[in-house]
Structure 1
């Protein structure tokens, strides 16, 4: 059966009285071309962590390409179907919340010794913390996920844009992001109220520029965007050594933080004692 279809949802879930959970932000894919295009990005020989498999439309494609796959699903109601449907595939279904589970421990147990990539189709309201959890785990060579189209713009934008933010700097510091393709609301059931996009992050082995202290770097970035209407001179006034570092960095202190590039933020942060 084609899992990326309204018919599959009707036949598999509706007989048990299933209803879509707004609190979980559930929107299931019903356009088969979308999971096909996503799965085509998976290289041979990799272990896969999939977060939010839902009915398993993407799981179905990924599990045919992956060496092994571990899917993390929060909704108890979906577990019996997933476990039954994928019982003869190299797939492990784990009940859990990606923001709370011990990913390194789960990977060590279920995907030992494999190079890893992650795929996710998550409730849009947890997109930002979920990306951070996946990135900070240090487990993955790449992370591919569905996000709101507006978030995709923020992920890939450049300094000076209204979409440029603290998280833009974080995402681009940690990885090289790329928008793969857009997805219309009609590709889901129920259809979301916004357009979506599939974004891929290729994780960096080294930062894009040398950074003396990561914590200090992001403290400078945070201050810049928390005070984005202020000049950098004013934004860093509360940070010990901040104004002196700014003066020595060569960055014009009259500029606003949302115009600075990652190398410019690094130039300031690296001069803070």
Structure 2
């Protein structure tokens, strides 16, 4: 297809919408990207080639899917909106390397899907323009299930992307930052103004690449407990780490044992959670876990 026929142009997008009488569902967070430059940056950030596969979540009418098909050996596009399946089937007809799946990615058995659809490929990445309302659940499912992924390149709400990539010490740094950085190395690729979508969302977006870690950045005795300690530490951001942990682990006791544990972890009780690195949280959770607290 030549460039003027690509799905991502405003003219072609509007033509497809009108042809099929498609109406946007606000509940599904549907916003179609109409900027070829941004699409190029998204695909480029994934590092795809003909030996690799791409999983797309929420293809819409196929603007990004079309670009992925030109870069990857196989593309699996998962769409929750049944109304879009026949539209995608027609507009993406020229690309036999695209497999359409109707379903909710949060309910799919992704390990089985990967085994069935991406067998023999040298690497797999997730590339998607994610609906704002399910960004975090989808990303955490992808990361926590330890799928054989190289990269996750997604366009999400700018504010959420900044939180995922935040370093300790700032207002953006929190439990989401630590969760994402435990499983991956985040990098902001570009910001995306709300004006390049149909319909336009109320806020700007950003493209972020999560390079999936093959090894954890820290050693933790109990991964689930590590995240419990992180969540407890950020329960009330203005409180010190000592006060937050006391509420969670010593609601009726004195501070003596807590002070001892913080000292053992080499953490000043007066610090706030947003100043602790992921390494310090690992040390803290291991000490608390070894003390037999749950």
Q: Normalising by the residue count of structure 1, what TM-score does the alignment of the two structures yield?
A: 0.95
Unaligned runs of 5+ in 1: none
Question: Post-superposition shift, 1:113?
Answer: 3.3
Separation in 2 of the partners of 1:243 and 1:51?
Answer: 46
Question: Post-superposition shift, 1:211?
Answer: 1.7
Aligned to 2:264: 248
Match of 1:34 among 27, 38, 57: 38
Superposed structure 1 runs of 4+ greater than 4 Å apart: 240-243
Secondary structure of 2:189's match?
strand
Match of 1:124 among 132, 148, 159: 132
Question: Post-superposition shift, 1:168?
Answer: 0.7
Aligned to 1:135: 143
Separation in 2 of the partners of 1:261 and 1:91?
Answer: 42
- Is 1:239 the counterpart of 2:239? The answer is no
Aligned residues: 273
Question: Post-superposition shift, 1:228?
Answer: 2.3
Would the aligned equivalents of 2:184 and 2:211 in 1 still touch at CA under 8 Å?
A: yes
Question: Post-superposition shift, 1:97?
Answer: 1.0
Match of 1:177 among 175, 181, 186: 186
Question: Post-superposition shift, 1:205?
Answer: 1.2
Would the aligned equivalents of 1:245 and 1:269 in 2 still touch at CA under 8 Å?
A: no
Would the aligned equivalents of 2:20 and 2:87 in 1 still touch at CA under 8 Å?
A: no
Match of 2:48 among 39, 43, 52: 43
Separation in 2 of the partners of 1:188 and 1:222?
Answer: 35
Separation in 1 of the partners of 2:171 and 2:65?
Answer: 36
Aligned to 2:21: 17
Aligned to 1:264: 280
Separation in 2 of the partners of 1:242 and 1:121?
Answer: 44
Would the aligned equivalents of 2:43 and 2:127 in 1 still touch at CA under 8 Å?
A: no
Would the aligned equivalents of 1:174 and 1:204 in 2 still touch at CA under 8 Å?
A: yes
Secondary structure of 2:26's match?
coil
Separation in 1 of the partners of 2:259 and 2:281?
Answer: 13
Question: Post-superposition shift, 1:95?
Answer: 0.3
Secondary structure of 1:205's match?
coil
Unaligned runs of 5+ in 2: 251-256
Separation in 2 of the partners of 1:104 and 1:242?
Answer: 41
- Is 1:97 the counterpart of 2:104? The answer is yes
Aligned to 2:157: 148
Match of 1:113 among 115, 120, 123: 120
Q: How does 1:186-201 map to 2 (within 5 A)?
A: 186-201=195-210
Would the aligned equivalents of 1:63 and 1:91 in 2 still touch at CA under 8 Å?
A: yes
Aligned to 2:176: 167
Question: Post-superposition shift, 1:53?
Answer: 0.8
Separation in 2 of the partners of 1:226 and 1:100?
Answer: 29
Separation in 1 of the partners of 2:271 and 2:22?
Answer: 54
Separation in 1 of the partners of 2:190 and 2:241?
Answer: 36
Separation in 1 of the partners of 2:34 and 2:48?
Answer: 24
